[in-house]
Each structure stands twice: as C-alpha cells, then as structure tokens.
Amino acid sequence: MNQVTAIRDRTTQPEKVRGLPGHSTVGTNDLDAAGEFYDRLFAVFGIGRILVQPWRAVYYGYRTLEFGVVKPFNGRPATLGNGGMVAFEARSRSQVNEAYSVALAAGGSDEGAPGPRGENGDGPYCAYFRDPEGNKFLVFRAGPDEA
C-alpha cells in the first residue's frame, strides 16, 4: 500500500473561492516537475496540494480532491489525449491573464493568448496553454468579473 500524505498549505486565501472541475486528471512522466508546474499555476487560484501519493500522484483542490497529475497506474508512459482539454473558470479577466502568464513562465506553451472570443469579440475571455508535457488547458471568464 502506498504511503499517502495529506497537505493543506494555504498561504493565500482569496476572498471568494472558485473551485476547479470535479476530479479531473492528466498523466505525467515526471511527477516532480509536474508538481512544480501545477503548484505555481494553482497558486493563482488560491488552491494548493490536498493529497500526495509519493511516486504516484499529486492532487489539488480547495476542500476536496478536484484535479490530479498522476503517473499511469499501468506503468506505461503517459501520453496526450487528442482533443482533450481541461477548463478552469477564473474570477476575472485579470486572473485569466495571470494564470496564462504563470503557466508560460513555469514551462508551459502558448495555445492562444488571452482575449475575448467569438465572432465579434463578445464571447468569453479566454486563454489557452499546454503544460510542459503537452496537456491542453483553457482558463476563461464568461460575463463580468466577480466583485
């Protein structure tokens, strides 16, 4: 049985917390590097590690497990899902910009700079990026910024 370590490091608490999608995971071939990338990215949302399974997985969330980066259980290399993407809702357009900037600074790659989407630019404000292993993400704000 794997040793399981629970972690709740909350250095900054946003006034209003926005949860991540319920229990999404992406695969990794380098758990340490992936953990560093996601630590930096999720700090933008005030969310940190909630559960660590050494040599296997790191899970993130606010009060419950919401997102994980895992080494595949079958022991084979992690690969990308073609067409797969995980989306995170931001509290504001500035948080979209910040998450995108942090992701790129932490080793991610651009898949679409922050800006309004839609035919007339009146759609949601979005930014797209990939993590260092190629998993695709969207951070978006639909509607006005939260107060």
Which homologous superfamily does the CATH classification assign to the domain defined by 5-73+84-141? 2,3-Dihydroxybiphenyl 1,2-Dioxygenase, domain 1 (3.10.180.10)
Tokens in use for 16? 């209003």
| pLDDT tens digits along 73-130 | 888 999 988 778 899 999 999 999 999 999 999 999 999 999 999 878 788 999 999 9
Task: Find the helix or strand (DSSP H, E) in which 58 lies.
Answer: strand 57-61
Question: What are the boundaries of each domain within the chain?
Answer: 5-73+84-141
Tell me what pLDDT residue 82 has: 72
Q: Which two tokens stand for residue 96?
A: 């979209």
105 close to 98: Cβ distance less than 8 angstroms: no
CA–CA separation, 95 vs 100, rounded Å?
A: 8
Q: What is the pLDDT of residues 14-31, one digit of tens each?
A: 556 656 555 789 999 999
**How confident is the model over 42-80, as pLDDT tens digits?**
999 999 999 999 989 999 998 888 899 999 988 899 998
Residue 33 CB coordination number (10 Å): 16
Looking at every residue in the chain, the average pLDDT score rounds to 86
pTM passes above 0.85: no
Distances (CA, A) of 58 to 25, 53, 147: 10, 6, 31
Q: Are 29 and 71 in contact (CB under 8 A)?
A: yes
